[in-house]
Amino acid sequence: MVVLVTGASGQLGQAIQAIAPKYKQVQFHFTTSAEADITNTSSLKTTFNRVKPDFCINAAAYTAVDKAESEPEKAHLINVTGAKNLAEICKEYGTTLVHISTDFVFDGNKNTPYDEEDATHPQGVYGATKRAGEEAIEAILEAHYIVRTSWLYSEYGNNFMKTMIRLGNERDVLSVVNDQTGTPTNANDLADAILQIITSDKKAYGIYHYSNEGVATWYDFAKKIFEVNNITINLQPISTAQYPTPAKRPVYSVMDKSKIKQVVGVDIPQWEASLTNLTKNS
């Protein structure tokens, strides 16, 4: 089985590379935007001609949530045009696409976990472009999996966990938002879930939700990060109103993972356990 991974230098791309040796039956081809630019169809065709993938994992995305508000064209180019280009070329080559999306497609007005059938209503440019990318794929390619995730962190790239560790070592006091609720997701667990989807080869196409189990606010997440890393800091809970950002975040974006557990048989760890495990092993 041949699997092409775009966005290999990003957080998820690096997590997939780290666990790839576990999947002996898969021949991986990891590409950066310099090697396979999803916004450039001729670049993609060159790569697809060379690799001839059975599956393509699209880990390439514009993910700068706040910056997207001032760079809507760039976010659209990568998250919408890029997704559309991949769907078209996957259709041409008979490749199944696994595309990564986000909890930001929801407005956060629910107070129970979002399932795959819930109506989307993104609140900012990032969420809107990710949803438009989903729709482009759905319209073009039957053989697709769209995996929505949330609050991604790992030992790779830039993320909330690494920022908290850095700030915790620099400061005595830190304020973190305590009225946005979701679920942290270890990128290594997400990578494993994606590869389970591919290797199960059930052809149960469509949208899936994946995050770690449990519920947290950003304050809860930060508190646990400091605890497991033995960082002593005066951590203060604040409201979203006290920490305004260019992009509006969903107030509540916990996702229901019943579908991926039932269809693929994925075993999902609790977020606290996964964070602790990552800290112990890094």
Q: How far apart are CA 218 and CA 177, in angstroms?
A: 6
Q: Which residues are catalytic?
A: 126
Please report how many Cα atoms fall inside a 13 Å half-sphere around the Cα of residue 223, on the Cβ side: 10
Residue 88: count of CB within 10 angstroms of its CB: 16
Determine the structural domain holding residue 143 and report its residue range: 2-158+184-214+252-270
- 107, 57 contact by CB (below 8 A): no
Q: Residue 237 falls within a domain, yes or no?
A: no
Over the stretch 110-154, which tens digit does the pLDDT of each residue have?
999 999 999 999 999 999 999 999 999 999 999 999 999 999 999
Q: Please report the pLDDT score of residue 280 as a whole number.
A: 84
Q: Residue 174 falls within a domain, yes or no?
A: no
Q: Please report the pLDDT score of residue 215 as a whole number.
A: 98
Q: Please report the pLDDT score of residue 162 as a whole number.
A: 96
Q: Residue 262 falls within a domain, yes or no?
A: yes
Q: Residue 16 falls within a domain, yes or no?
A: yes
Q: Please report the pLDDT score of residue 201 as a whole number.
A: 78
Q: How far apart are the first and last CA of the chain?
A: 30
Residue 86 CB partners (closer than 8 Å, separation 6+): 6, 38, 44, 56, 58, 97, 99, 137
75 sits in which H/E element: helix 72-76
Q: Please report the pLDDT score of residue 2 as a whole number.
A: 98
Pairing of strands 96-102, 144-149: parallel
Q: How far apart are CA 108 and CA 100, in angstroms?
A: 19
Q: How far apart are CA 217 and CA 178, in angstroms?
A: 5
Q: Please report the pLDDT score of residue 191 as a whole number.
A: 98
Over the stretch 17-30, which tens digit does the pLDDT of each residue have?
999 999 999 999 99
Q: Residue 14 falls within a domain, yes or no?
A: yes
Count of domains observed in the chain: 1
Q: Please report the pLDDT score of residue 281 as a whole number.
A: 82
CATH for 22 = 3.40.50.720
Q: Residue 173 falls within a domain, yes or no?
A: no
User: Which positions of the chain have pLDDT values less than 50?
Assistant: none
Q: Please report the pLDDT score of residue 277 as a whole number.
A: 95
